[in-house]
Structure 1
Protein backbone atom coordinates (compact mmCIF):
# COMPACT_ATOMS: atom_id res chain seq x y z
CA UNK A 1 0.00 0.00 0.00
CA UNK A 2 2.86 2.39 0.81
CA UNK A 3 4.44 1.59 -2.55
CA UNK A 4 1.16 2.21 -4.36
CA UNK A 5 0.33 5.42 -2.47
CA UNK A 6 3.81 7.01 -2.28
CA UNK A 7 6.21 5.46 -4.80
CA UNK A 8 4.07 4.74 -7.87
CA UNK A 9 2.64 8.33 -8.05
CA UNK A 10 6.17 9.79 -8.04
CA UNK A 11 7.16 7.40 -10.83
CA UNK A 12 3.96 8.24 -12.71
CA UNK A 13 4.95 11.87 -12.93
CA UNK A 14 8.26 10.85 -14.47
CA UNK A 15 6.49 8.41 -16.82
CA UNK A 16 4.17 11.18 -18.03
CA UNK A 17 7.19 13.33 -18.90
CA UNK A 18 8.76 10.49 -20.84
CA UNK A 19 5.58 10.07 -22.87
CA UNK A 20 4.54 7.03 -24.88
CA UNK A 21 2.40 4.10 -23.92
CA UNK A 22 3.07 2.47 -20.59
CA UNK A 23 3.59 -1.32 -20.31
CA UNK A 24 0.44 -3.14 -19.20
CA UNK A 25 1.86 -4.04 -15.79
CA UNK A 26 2.85 -0.42 -15.13
CA UNK A 27 -0.56 0.81 -16.21
CA UNK A 28 -2.17 -1.78 -13.93
CA UNK A 29 -0.29 -0.52 -10.87
CA UNK A 30 -0.91 3.11 -11.84
CA UNK A 31 -4.67 2.43 -12.06
CA UNK A 32 -4.54 0.55 -8.76
CA UNK A 33 -2.70 3.47 -7.17
CA UNK A 34 -5.35 5.91 -8.44
CA UNK A 35 -8.12 3.69 -7.07
CA UNK A 36 -6.57 3.53 -3.59
CA UNK A 37 -5.77 7.25 -3.44
CA UNK A 38 -9.10 8.49 -4.86
CA UNK A 39 -11.49 5.94 -3.35
CA UNK A 40 -9.89 4.93 -0.04
CA UNK A 41 -12.94 6.27 1.82
CA UNK A 42 -15.02 3.66 -0.01
CA UNK A 43 -12.50 0.80 0.00
CA UNK A 44 -11.78 0.94 3.74
CA UNK A 45 -15.46 0.78 4.86
CA UNK A 46 -16.12 -2.01 2.34
CA UNK A 47 -13.21 -4.07 3.72
CA UNK A 48 -14.40 -3.46 7.30
CA UNK A 49 -17.96 -4.41 6.33
CA UNK A 50 -16.74 -7.63 4.67
CA UNK A 51 -14.67 -8.59 7.74
CA UNK A 52 -17.56 -7.84 10.12
CA UNK A 53 -19.96 -9.70 7.84
CA UNK A 54 -17.72 -12.79 7.82
CA UNK A 55 -17.40 -12.65 11.62
CA UNK A 56 -21.17 -12.37 12.00
CA UNK A 57 -21.77 -15.19 9.51
CA UNK A 58 -19.23 -17.39 11.33
CA UNK A 59 -21.34 -17.09 14.51
CA UNK A 60 -24.52 -18.32 12.81
CA UNK A 61 -25.39 -22.01 12.65
CA UNK A 62 -24.88 -22.11 8.89
CA UNK A 63 -21.59 -20.22 9.19
CA UNK A 64 -20.29 -22.61 11.85
CA UNK A 65 -21.03 -25.56 9.56
CA UNK A 66 -19.52 -23.87 6.50
CA UNK A 67 -16.29 -22.87 8.23
CA UNK A 68 -16.21 -26.15 10.16
CA UNK A 69 -16.33 -28.10 6.89
CA UNK A 70 -13.66 -25.87 5.36
CA UNK A 71 -11.40 -26.41 8.38
CA UNK A 72 -11.68 -30.17 7.97
CA UNK A 73 -11.39 -30.35 4.18
CA UNK A 74 -8.87 -27.59 3.41
CA UNK A 75 -5.53 -28.94 2.16
CA UNK A 76 -2.60 -28.94 4.60
CA UNK A 77 -4.68 -27.54 7.50
CA UNK A 78 -7.42 -30.20 7.41
CA UNK A 79 -5.29 -32.97 8.94
CA UNK A 80 -4.08 -30.53 11.60
CA UNK A 81 -7.70 -29.73 12.52
CA UNK A 82 -8.58 -33.43 12.90
CA UNK A 83 -5.48 -34.23 14.94
CA UNK A 84 -6.03 -31.21 17.19
CA UNK A 85 -9.65 -32.21 17.82
CA UNK A 86 -8.61 -35.82 18.54
CA UNK A 87 -5.93 -34.67 20.97
CA UNK A 88 -8.31 -32.29 22.77
CA UNK A 89 -11.06 -34.90 22.99
CA UNK A 90 -8.75 -37.63 24.32
CA UNK A 91 -6.94 -35.43 26.85
CA UNK A 92 -10.06 -33.75 28.23
CA UNK A 93 -12.04 -36.99 28.48
CA UNK A 94 -9.12 -38.82 30.10
CA UNK A 95 -8.84 -36.07 32.72
CA UNK A 96 -12.57 -36.09 33.42
CA UNK A 97 -12.78 -39.88 33.72
CA UNK A 98 -9.73 -39.85 35.99
CA UNK A 99 -11.53 -37.34 38.21
CA UNK A 100 -14.48 -39.70 38.55
CA UNK A 101 -16.86 -37.97 36.14
CA UNK A 102 -19.37 -40.43 34.59
CA UNK A 103 -18.79 -41.21 30.91
CA UNK A 104 -22.04 -39.62 29.68
CA UNK A 105 -21.35 -36.40 31.53
CA UNK A 106 -17.71 -36.43 30.39
CA UNK A 107 -18.72 -36.76 26.74
CA UNK A 108 -21.19 -33.88 27.18
CA UNK A 109 -18.49 -31.66 28.71
CA UNK A 110 -15.97 -32.55 25.99
CA UNK A 111 -18.48 -31.70 23.25
CA UNK A 112 -18.81 -28.24 24.81
CA UNK A 113 -15.09 -27.50 24.54
CA UNK A 114 -14.72 -28.58 20.90
CA UNK A 115 -14.24 -25.57 18.63
CA UNK A 116 -15.36 -27.28 15.40
CA UNK A 117 -19.14 -27.73 15.21
CA UNK A 118 -18.87 -31.10 13.44
CA UNK A 119 -16.83 -32.64 16.25
CA UNK A 120 -19.18 -31.02 18.75
CA UNK A 121 -22.20 -32.62 17.05
CA UNK A 122 -20.42 -35.97 16.74
CA UNK A 123 -19.85 -36.08 20.50
CA UNK A 124 -23.43 -35.01 21.19
CA UNK A 125 -24.62 -37.90 19.01
CA UNK A 126 -22.21 -40.18 20.88
CA UNK A 127 -23.71 -39.05 24.19
CA UNK A 128 -27.19 -40.05 22.99
CA UNK A 129 -26.00 -43.49 21.87
CA UNK A 130 -24.08 -44.05 25.11
CA UNK A 131 -27.27 -43.24 27.00
CA UNK A 132 -29.00 -46.23 25.36
CA UNK A 133 -26.08 -48.55 26.09
CA UNK A 134 -23.79 -48.22 23.08
CA UNK A 135 -19.99 -48.13 23.62
CA UNK A 136 -18.24 -44.82 22.92
CA UNK A 137 -16.10 -46.25 20.13
CA UNK A 138 -19.09 -47.06 17.92
CA UNK A 139 -20.57 -43.54 17.42
CA UNK A 140 -17.06 -42.11 17.04
CA UNK A 141 -16.44 -44.56 14.22
CA UNK A 142 -19.82 -43.87 12.62
CA UNK A 143 -19.17 -40.11 12.66
CA UNK A 144 -16.39 -40.55 10.08
CA UNK A 145 -14.49 -37.61 11.59
CA UNK A 146 -12.00 -39.23 13.92
CA UNK A 147 -8.98 -41.22 12.66
CA UNK A 148 -9.32 -45.02 12.92
CA UNK A 149 -6.70 -45.11 15.66
CA UNK A 150 -8.97 -43.09 17.95
CA UNK A 151 -11.99 -45.38 18.01
CA UNK A 152 -9.89 -48.55 17.73
CA UNK A 153 -7.87 -47.74 20.86
CA UNK A 154 -11.00 -46.63 22.69
CA UNK A 155 -12.63 -49.94 21.72
CA UNK A 156 -9.61 -51.82 23.12
CA UNK A 157 -9.87 -49.78 26.32
CA UNK A 158 -13.59 -50.55 26.62
CA UNK A 159 -13.00 -54.27 26.14
CA UNK A 160 -10.13 -54.37 28.64
CA UNK A 161 -11.68 -51.93 31.11
CA UNK A 162 -8.86 -49.38 30.68
CA UNK A 163 -10.63 -46.65 28.70
CA UNK A 164 -9.03 -43.86 30.72
CA UNK A 165 -5.53 -45.27 30.15
CA UNK A 166 -6.13 -45.66 26.41
CA UNK A 167 -7.44 -42.11 26.17
CA UNK A 168 -4.34 -40.87 27.96
CA UNK A 169 -2.11 -42.70 25.48
CA UNK A 170 -4.17 -41.33 22.60
CA UNK A 171 -3.75 -37.81 23.95
CA UNK A 172 0.02 -38.23 24.23
CA UNK A 173 0.22 -39.62 20.69
CA UNK A 174 -1.91 -36.92 19.05
CA UNK A 175 -0.26 -34.09 20.95
CA UNK A 176 3.01 -35.20 19.34
CA UNK A 177 1.22 -35.53 16.00
CA UNK A 178 -0.16 -32.00 16.33
CA UNK A 179 3.30 -30.63 17.05
CA UNK A 180 4.72 -32.42 14.01
CA UNK A 181 1.78 -31.29 11.87
CA UNK A 182 2.31 -27.65 12.91
CA UNK A 183 5.96 -27.92 11.91
CA UNK A 184 4.94 -29.44 8.56
CA UNK A 185 2.42 -26.64 7.96
CA UNK A 186 5.02 -23.99 8.76
CA UNK A 187 7.52 -25.69 6.47
CA UNK A 188 4.93 -25.71 3.67
CA UNK A 189 3.90 -22.09 4.26
CA UNK A 190 7.41 -20.64 4.16
CA UNK A 191 8.02 -21.24 0.42
CA UNK A 192 4.46 -20.18 -0.38
CA UNK A 193 4.98 -16.86 1.45
CA UNK A 194 8.32 -16.36 -0.28
CA UNK A 195 6.75 -16.99 -3.69
CA UNK A 196 3.86 -14.62 -2.93
CA UNK A 197 6.24 -11.86 -1.79
CA UNK A 198 8.39 -12.44 -4.86
CA UNK A 199 5.35 -12.01 -7.11
CA UNK A 200 4.23 -8.80 -5.34
CA UNK A 201 7.68 -7.23 -5.12
CA UNK A 202 8.66 -8.45 -8.58
CA UNK A 203 5.50 -6.95 -10.06
CA UNK A 204 6.18 -3.57 -8.45
CA UNK A 205 9.81 -3.58 -9.56
CA UNK A 206 8.81 -4.55 -13.11
CA UNK A 207 6.17 -1.81 -13.17
CA UNK A 208 8.78 0.78 -12.24
CA UNK A 209 11.66 -0.49 -14.36
CA UNK A 210 10.01 -1.42 -17.67
CA UNK A 211 9.17 2.19 -18.72
CA UNK A 212 12.72 3.25 -17.85
CA UNK A 213 14.16 0.40 -19.90
CA UNK A 214 11.90 1.37 -22.80
CA UNK A 215 13.15 4.94 -22.49
CA UNK A 216 16.79 3.84 -22.54
CA UNK A 217 16.13 1.70 -25.62
CA UNK A 218 14.47 4.66 -27.33
CA UNK A 219 17.46 6.88 -26.52
CA UNK A 220 19.90 4.27 -27.82
CA UNK A 221 18.01 4.02 -31.08
CA UNK A 222 18.21 7.81 -31.67
Structure 2
Protein backbone atom coordinates (compact mmCIF):
# COMPACT_ATOMS: atom_id res chain seq x y z
CA UNK A 1 0.00 0.00 0.00
CA UNK A 2 1.03 3.59 -0.58
CA UNK A 3 0.79 6.25 2.11
CA UNK A 4 1.02 10.02 1.78
CA UNK A 5 2.94 11.60 4.62
CA UNK A 6 3.98 14.95 6.01
CA UNK A 7 6.90 14.99 8.40
CA UNK A 8 9.66 17.13 9.84
CA UNK A 9 13.36 16.41 9.68
CA UNK A 10 15.75 16.75 12.62
CA UNK A 11 16.45 20.30 11.48
CA UNK A 12 12.73 21.14 11.50
CA UNK A 13 12.29 21.20 7.73
CA UNK A 14 8.89 20.03 6.43
CA UNK A 15 9.03 17.04 4.09
CA UNK A 16 6.09 15.73 2.06
CA UNK A 17 6.04 12.54 0.01
CA UNK A 18 4.78 9.01 -0.54
CA UNK A 19 5.99 5.81 1.09
CA UNK A 20 5.11 2.19 0.34
CA UNK A 21 4.51 -0.25 3.20
CA UNK A 22 2.31 -3.21 4.13
CA UNK A 23 0.41 -1.22 6.78
CA UNK A 24 0.13 2.22 8.34
CA UNK A 25 2.24 1.06 11.30
CA UNK A 26 4.91 -0.22 8.91
CA UNK A 27 4.94 3.10 7.04
CA UNK A 28 5.28 4.99 10.33
CA UNK A 29 8.19 2.81 11.47
CA UNK A 30 9.92 3.18 8.10
CA UNK A 31 9.68 6.97 8.21
CA UNK A 32 10.86 7.11 11.81
CA UNK A 33 13.85 4.92 10.92
CA UNK A 34 14.90 7.71 8.54
CA UNK A 35 14.88 10.21 11.38
CA UNK A 36 11.56 11.82 10.44
CA UNK A 37 8.93 13.08 12.89
CA UNK A 38 5.63 12.22 11.19
CA UNK A 39 2.89 14.84 11.54
CA UNK A 40 0.42 13.41 9.01
CA UNK A 41 0.01 9.95 7.48
CA UNK A 42 -2.86 8.64 5.35
CA UNK A 43 -3.48 5.98 2.73
CA UNK A 44 -3.06 7.27 -0.83
CA UNK A 45 -6.17 5.31 -1.85
CA UNK A 46 -8.29 7.26 0.63
CA UNK A 47 -7.55 10.58 -1.04
CA UNK A 48 -10.20 11.48 -3.69
CA UNK A 49 -8.88 11.77 -7.24
CA UNK A 50 -9.88 15.44 -7.51
CA UNK A 51 -7.96 16.24 -4.31
CA UNK A 52 -4.69 14.66 -5.42
CA UNK A 53 -1.87 16.89 -6.53
CA UNK A 54 -1.10 16.05 -10.13
CA UNK A 55 2.24 16.90 -11.68
CA UNK A 56 2.83 16.06 -15.34
CA UNK A 57 6.34 17.52 -15.51
CA UNK A 58 8.83 14.99 -16.83
CA UNK A 59 12.30 14.52 -15.43
CA UNK A 60 14.42 16.38 -17.97
CA UNK A 61 18.05 16.14 -19.08
CA UNK A 62 18.67 19.31 -17.11
CA UNK A 63 17.42 17.58 -13.95
CA UNK A 64 19.84 14.70 -14.58
CA UNK A 65 22.73 17.14 -15.07
CA UNK A 66 22.02 18.79 -11.71
CA UNK A 67 21.53 15.40 -10.04
CA UNK A 68 24.87 14.00 -11.23
CA UNK A 69 26.79 17.24 -10.60
CA UNK A 70 25.48 17.86 -7.08
CA UNK A 71 25.95 14.21 -6.14
CA UNK A 72 29.53 14.36 -7.44
CA UNK A 73 30.29 17.46 -5.36
CA UNK A 74 28.79 16.00 -2.17
CA UNK A 75 30.51 12.65 -2.67
CA UNK A 76 33.84 14.42 -3.23
CA UNK A 77 33.21 16.33 0.02
CA UNK A 78 33.03 12.95 1.83
CA UNK A 79 29.26 13.14 2.37
CA UNK A 80 27.89 9.55 2.54
CA UNK A 81 26.01 8.46 -0.59
CA UNK A 82 22.71 7.77 1.17
CA UNK A 83 22.80 11.09 3.00
CA UNK A 84 23.57 12.86 -0.29
CA UNK A 85 20.59 11.19 -1.95
CA UNK A 86 18.30 12.18 0.94
CA UNK A 87 19.44 15.79 0.51
CA UNK A 88 18.81 15.71 -3.24
CA UNK A 89 15.37 14.15 -2.70
CA UNK A 90 14.43 17.00 -0.37
CA UNK A 91 15.61 19.56 -2.92
CA UNK A 92 13.83 17.96 -5.91
CA UNK A 93 10.85 20.06 -7.02
CA UNK A 94 9.29 17.34 -9.18
CA UNK A 95 7.35 14.73 -7.14
CA UNK A 96 8.24 11.90 -9.52
CA UNK A 97 11.97 12.66 -9.34
CA UNK A 98 11.76 13.00 -5.55
CA UNK A 99 10.10 9.58 -5.38
CA UNK A 100 12.77 7.97 -7.60
CA UNK A 101 15.71 9.40 -5.62
CA UNK A 102 14.10 8.33 -2.34
CA UNK A 103 13.56 4.80 -3.64
CA UNK A 104 17.17 4.59 -4.86
CA UNK A 105 18.46 5.63 -1.43
CA UNK A 106 16.24 3.02 0.26
CA UNK A 107 17.52 0.31 -2.09
CA UNK A 108 21.12 1.25 -1.23
CA UNK A 109 20.31 1.14 2.50
CA UNK A 110 18.93 -2.35 1.88
CA UNK A 111 22.26 -3.53 0.48
CA UNK A 112 21.85 -2.84 -3.25
CA UNK A 113 24.70 -1.15 -5.09
CA UNK A 114 24.19 2.33 -6.51
CA UNK A 115 24.39 1.13 -10.12
CA UNK A 116 21.86 -1.65 -9.49
CA UNK A 117 19.48 0.81 -7.83
CA UNK A 118 19.74 3.12 -10.86
CA UNK A 119 19.07 0.19 -13.21
CA UNK A 120 15.56 -0.08 -11.73
CA UNK A 121 14.69 3.09 -13.71
CA UNK A 122 15.86 2.44 -17.30
CA UNK A 123 13.49 5.12 -18.63
CA UNK A 124 15.57 7.71 -16.76
CA UNK A 125 19.09 6.26 -16.50
CA UNK A 126 20.37 4.78 -19.76
CA UNK A 127 22.92 1.92 -19.98
CA UNK A 128 25.79 4.40 -20.49
CA UNK A 129 24.91 6.23 -17.26
CA UNK A 130 24.62 2.97 -15.30
CA UNK A 131 27.85 1.51 -16.71
CA UNK A 132 29.77 4.70 -15.89
CA UNK A 133 28.51 4.55 -12.30
CA UNK A 134 29.40 0.85 -12.11
CA UNK A 135 32.93 1.62 -13.34
CA UNK A 136 33.21 4.42 -10.77
CA UNK A 137 32.15 2.04 -8.00
CA UNK A 138 34.68 -0.59 -9.08
CA UNK A 139 37.57 1.87 -9.40
CA UNK A 140 36.72 3.94 -6.33
CA UNK A 141 36.31 7.04 -8.50
CA UNK A 142 32.55 7.51 -8.33
CA UNK A 143 32.87 11.28 -7.92
CA UNK A 144 34.88 11.58 -11.16
CA UNK A 145 32.42 9.32 -12.99
CA UNK A 146 29.45 11.43 -11.88
CA UNK A 147 31.26 14.63 -12.84
CA UNK A 148 31.97 13.22 -16.31
CA UNK A 149 28.33 12.15 -16.66
CA UNK A 150 27.04 15.61 -15.76
CA UNK A 151 29.29 17.19 -18.42
CA UNK A 152 28.32 14.54 -20.99
CA UNK A 153 24.56 14.94 -20.44
CA UNK A 154 24.90 18.74 -20.47
CA UNK A 155 26.65 18.60 -23.87
CA UNK A 156 23.87 16.35 -25.20
CA UNK A 157 21.22 18.73 -23.84
CA UNK A 158 22.86 21.79 -25.42
CA UNK A 159 23.29 20.02 -28.78
CA UNK A 160 19.64 18.94 -28.77
CA UNK A 161 18.53 22.50 -27.96
CA UNK A 162 20.64 23.89 -30.83
CA UNK A 163 19.21 21.36 -33.31
CA UNK A 164 15.65 22.19 -32.27
CA UNK A 165 16.39 25.91 -32.52
CA UNK A 166 17.89 25.48 -36.00
CA UNK A 167 14.79 23.60 -37.19
CA UNK A 168 12.30 26.26 -36.08
CA UNK A 169 13.18 28.84 -38.78
CA UNK A 170 12.84 26.47 -41.80
CA UNK A 171 9.54 25.14 -40.43
CA UNK A 172 8.18 28.70 -40.08
CA UNK A 173 9.26 29.53 -43.67
CA UNK A 174 7.65 26.36 -45.06
CA UNK A 175 4.39 27.04 -43.19
CA UNK A 176 4.33 30.63 -44.50
CA UNK A 177 4.93 29.44 -48.08
CA UNK A 178 2.15 26.87 -47.77
CA UNK A 179 -0.17 29.52 -46.34
CA UNK A 180 0.56 31.92 -49.20
CA UNK A 181 0.13 29.11 -51.74
CA UNK A 182 -3.27 28.16 -50.31
CA UNK A 183 -4.47 31.79 -50.26
CA UNK A 184 -3.35 32.33 -53.87
CA UNK A 185 -4.96 29.05 -54.98
CA UNK A 186 -8.29 29.88 -53.34
CA UNK A 187 -8.67 33.62 -53.99
CA UNK A 188 -6.35 34.68 -56.85
CA UNK A 189 -6.13 31.76 -59.28
CA UNK A 190 -9.91 31.28 -59.64
CA UNK A 191 -10.27 34.82 -61.02
CA UNK A 192 -7.45 34.30 -63.53
CA UNK A 193 -8.82 30.91 -64.59
CA UNK A 194 -12.30 32.34 -65.17
CA UNK A 195 -10.78 34.80 -67.63
CA UNK A 196 -9.00 31.96 -69.46
CA UNK A 197 -12.17 29.87 -69.61
CA UNK A 198 -14.12 32.76 -71.16
CA UNK A 199 -11.85 32.62 -74.23
CA UNK A 200 -13.59 29.35 -75.29
CA UNK A 201 -10.23 27.86 -76.21
CA UNK A 202 -9.06 24.42 -75.20
CA UNK A 203 -6.92 24.85 -72.13
CA UNK A 204 -3.54 23.09 -71.77
CA UNK A 205 -3.36 20.01 -69.57
CA UNK A 206 -1.40 21.79 -66.82
CA UNK A 207 -3.95 24.62 -66.72
CA UNK A 208 -6.81 22.13 -66.39
CA UNK A 209 -4.85 20.37 -63.64
CA UNK A 210 -4.48 23.68 -61.77
CA UNK A 211 -8.23 24.28 -62.10
CA UNK A 212 -8.96 20.86 -60.60
CA UNK A 213 -6.54 21.50 -57.75
CA UNK A 214 -8.04 24.91 -57.04
CA UNK A 215 -11.57 23.51 -56.97
CA UNK A 216 -10.39 20.78 -54.63
CA UNK A 217 -8.81 23.29 -52.23
CA UNK A 218 -11.95 25.43 -52.26
CA UNK A 219 -14.08 22.49 -51.18
CA UNK A 220 -14.46 21.43 -47.53
CA UNK A 221 -12.94 18.07 -48.43
CA UNK A 222 -9.78 19.84 -49.55
CA UNK A 223 -9.43 21.74 -46.29
CA UNK A 224 -10.12 18.59 -44.27
CA UNK A 225 -7.47 16.64 -46.21
CA UNK A 226 -4.84 19.33 -45.64
CA UNK A 227 -5.62 19.54 -41.91
CA UNK A 228 -5.47 15.75 -41.53
CA UNK A 229 -2.16 15.68 -43.42
CA UNK A 230 -0.50 18.14 -41.02
CA UNK A 231 -2.06 16.63 -37.89
CA UNK A 232 -1.15 13.10 -38.92
Note if contact 1:89-1:114 (Cα within 8 Å) is conserved in structure 2. no
Q: Which residue of 2 aligns with 1:130?
A: 108
What's the offset of the Cα at 1:202? 2.2
SS at match of 1:143: coil
Provide, for residues 78-132 of structure 1, a one-character-per-residue CA deviation record: whole Å limited to 9, x for no partner. Answer: xxx4x44432321121123334443223223434555665544332220211222
1:184 aligns with one of 156, 163, 171: 163
Partner of 1:47: none
User: 1:181 offset after TM fit, Å?
Assistant: 1.9
**Residue in 1 aligned with 2:216?**
none
State the structure with more CA Rg. 2
Q: Give distance in 2, aligned partners of 1:160 and 1:174.
A: 21
1:118/1:221 Cα in 2 relative to 1: closer, same or farther (>3 Å)?
farther
In structure 2, the partner of 1:193 is 172
Alpha carbons of structure 1 residues 98 and 189: separation in structure 2 relative to 1, 3 Å: same
Q: Does 1:217 align with 2:225?
A: no
- The equivalent of 2:130 in structure 1 is 151
Partner of 1:95: 73
CA RMSD of aligned residues (A): 3.1
CA drift at 1:176: 1.5
CA shift in 2, pair 1:130/1:192, >3 Å: same
Unaligned 5+ residue runs, structure 2?
1-49, 202-232
Aligned to 1:174: 153
Q: 1:199 to 1:118 in 2, by over 3 A?
A: farther
Shift of 1:200: 2.5
The structure 2 residue matched to 1:139, chosen from 94, 112, 117, is: 117
Structure 2 vs 1, CA of residues 207 and 139 (structure 1 numbering), >3 Å: closer, same or farther? same
Rate the CA distance shift 1:193–1:109 in 2: closer, same or farther, 3 A. Answer: farther
Q: Secondary structure at the match of 1:142?
A: coil
Cα 1:202/1:179, change in 2 over 3 Å: same
How many residues in Structure 1 have an aligned counterpart in Structure 2?
150
Comparing both structures, which one devotes a greater share of its residues to strand?
2
The answer to whether residue 203 in structure 2 is matched with residue 203 in structure 1 is no
Question: What is the TM-score of this pair, normalised by structure 1?
Answer: 0.55
